[in-house]
Amino acid sequence: MTAVITDTAIVGAPVDRVDGPAKVTGAARYPSDVCYPDLAHAALVQSAIAAGTISGIDAGQALAAPGVLAVITHQNCPPLADAPATPLGPSPRFPLRDNRIVHYGQHVAVVVADTPEQAVAAARLVAIDYQRAEPVLGIGNPEAPVVRNPRLETERGDVTAALASAAVTYDETFTTPAEVNNPIGLFATAARWDGGRLVVHDCTQWPMMTRHVLATVFGLPEDDVRVLVPYLGGGFGAGLITWPHVILAALAARVTGRPVKLVLTRPQMFTSVGHRAQTVQRLRLGATRDFTLTAIDHDATSTVGAQDATMEPVTAVTPLSYACANVATHGRQVRLNVPNPGWLRAPGKAVGNFSLESALDELSYALGIDPVDLRLRNHADVNPQSGRPWSSNALRECYLAGAKHFGWAGRDPAVRSMRDGQWLVGYGMAGVTFGGFYGPCRASITLSRDGTARVRSAATDIGTGTYTVAAQLTAELLGLRTSQVVVEIGDSDLPPAPQSGGSGLATALSTAIHAAAGNLLRAFLDLAPGGSPLHGRSPDEVSVADGCIHLIADPSAGLAYTDLLAGGDLDEVTADGEVTPQAIAAGMPPAGAFAAHFAEVRVDEDLGLVRVTRMTSAVDAGRILNEKLARSQILGAVVMGIGMTLFEETVFDPATGRIANPTFADYLIPVSADIPDLDVIFVGELDRSNPVGVKGLGEIGIVGVPAAIANAVYHATGRRIRSLPITIDKLL
């Protein structure tokens, strides 16, 4: 099966989630729901300083407490191997390897007891003495070690000369704070040792990589580690790293000889599973008086942990965004005594776009041109880095269709010109070039004599709808009903799959399913007996519908899958499919998704209150596998973007490094009253880089939202806010 899918009846339809009934009835088992008859429970003890060493630990009272089975510290921790590097970067430092403290809230001990209440109570009894050191804190701290990041150093043309000769120049600095992923579901790990085999239920977005890390750390063959995550209560990137608490849960199970569950508390989520790094960005632009961009220079500094090397790719997409002959990007990190940053939805791109698209908006006012028109005039018709055609690009259509749907033409371009009573009204917009990626993936499909198909892959569903779109695509490719397809995912024993992150899983998995379905169809054609109308036929000569294979030339001639299985005396037939980076590189590189966001805000002139009153998001995501789920992904991402713009900020105490707002009472996130009606429209055509024509859209919805809102705030008030979040004090 090699043809690109065209008009279909199932793919794209707004099918309800196939996993919906299990979730709403409570049948879906999340890692925190896992239970064994002899399950023990673990609680973490965390550092009360940000830098220094542990000079002594007294676990006597904790060990004597009711129900306590073990207290594991660096003093009695069995030797473990270093966690390996992953394709997304190095693994975090294991904290019980020595007595060093590198951030406030670092895990310094784990207590295991019969019940969670006993474990938590005993954890409070562990007495720790510290030798304090002065922590390095603050992104502007001159004493902070600086790490240059060569992957973010790019240059085409001569930016210095272009800026010097530009008729109009721009030079401003933007800042964004640390933000925490904060899924509603607390991260949990349940681990048990079955003989020499380790079985782990974990809130991971990448079962295969978690298996690899655990196998390396515990010195096991990878086949002796099984990682299960059939359901995940949100991750937003936090589940892309195997964090130390996962290793501690498995270690506690090995030490005690019992299954162990470890559930992070909400404050521990702030210190244990990453956060979006803080950034400072300088944007310099050059342009001609006829609205042509001649120079873009994007310089970014981000924070990183004292013993970490996670990269926040702030400037990664800047060179792809516009048809500008002279572009340079620069990236550096400052090492601080803070918890390790990690991946948070659209890492780097969400913050990098804020500065770039805000700068473009400012430039439009300086040049006297509509912000949409400025972007259209500088649209990159081909990939500006490689000069090669995009595999697809409907960004122009995003601008035009989004502006029409939003009513952009009704905008008075003058600042502070639109009003509704006490409210100043502003319109703002931002464009988004995301960039494409997907990794190697395998899938298998088994079609049984009862007429059902079973799709298997080690992919995960983090709430985005993987179960459903996999079922829809398989049903379409094999001519079945969606109800005839069973999807098995979230298990590292299944065919390997990449992470659910980076907006790449839908493309990778759908391409692997497409290949598996083609191979399965060939296998069934090979079963056609002599004299059958299907005997000796190729996949290009047949079509599938209603559980049957038909000749295209004669739709009345064909056989059911079940008849072919019965004729061959087989209960089932299985076929595998695979997509590899080599295959991707040999074809057309994926372009990734594009979007344009339009926002209307109202600002109380006296109080500085900001209300987002409506938004329109026009998105090019190639083929939409399920319109309902795709729209939901964009809506959720836009809500996160509103939170990022107006509310969210992780506050580190400048003296101690302690996070001052590690609960939902103090860390502000948007609630329903903060969210207006959100419109989403999909534009564009099938992407040519893969046979399904799909592009990932898990992150495109958040990128561009902060700039669109900030630009609307400027249009309403004349106040240019270059520091997130946009709070009342910045508008008074």
CA nearest neighbour of 434 among 465, 460, 387, 398: 398
What are the helix and strand counts (H, E) for the chain?
18, 28
CA nearest neighbour of 699 among 423, 350, 225: 350
Other C-beta atoms closer than 10 Å to the C-beta of 38 total 10
410/397 Cα distance (integer angstroms)? 19
Asked if residue 482 lies in contact with residue 18, where contact means CB atoms within 8 angstroms, the answer is yes
Cis check: omega of the bond before 341, within 30 degrees of 0: no
Place of tokens 């721009």: 170
673/135 Cα distance (integer angstroms)? 40
SS3 state at 356: helix
Active site residues: 699
Reported residue count of the chain is: 732
Other C-beta atoms closer than 10 Å to the C-beta of 468 total 23
Give how far the C-alpha of residue 497 lies from the chain's centroid of Cα atoms, to the nearest Å.
15
Residue 445, sorted as left (phi over 0), alpha (psi -120 to 50) or beta, turns out to be beta
Q: What is the DSSP secondary-structure string of 198-219?
A: EEEEE--S-HHHHHHHHHHHHT
Place of tokens 């009835």: 25
Output b/e per residue, 138-170; b: 16+ Cβ within 10 A. bbeeeebeeeebeebebeeeebeebbeebeebb
Tokens of 689: 């880089």
550/78 Cα distance (integer angstroms)? 62
Residue 439, sorted as left (phi over 0), alpha (psi -120 to 50) or beta, turns out to be beta
Asked if residue 156 lies in contact with residue 104, where contact means CB atoms within 8 angstroms, the answer is no
Asked if residue 152 lies in contact with residue 314, where contact means CB atoms within 8 angstroms, the answer is yes
Asked if residue 362 lies in contact with residue 354, where contact means CB atoms within 8 angstroms, the answer is no
Tokens of 439: 């990794």
Q: What is the DSSP secondary-structure string of 444-490?
A: EEEEETTS-EEEE-S---SSS-HHHHHHHHHHHHHT--GGGEEEE-S
Tally the C-alpha atoms within 13 A of residue 350's C-alpha that lie toward its C-beta. 31
142/607 Cα distance (integer angstroms)? 37
Asked if residue 556 lies in contact with residue 534, where contact means CB atoms within 8 angstroms, the answer is no
Q: Give the H/E segment covering residue 635.
A: helix 627-646
Place of tokens 């000079």: 55
Residue 360 vs residues 37, 299, 329, 709: alpha-carbon distances, Å: 60, 16, 16, 14
45/62 Cα distance (integer angstroms)? 11
Pairing of strands 225-228, 418-420: unpaired
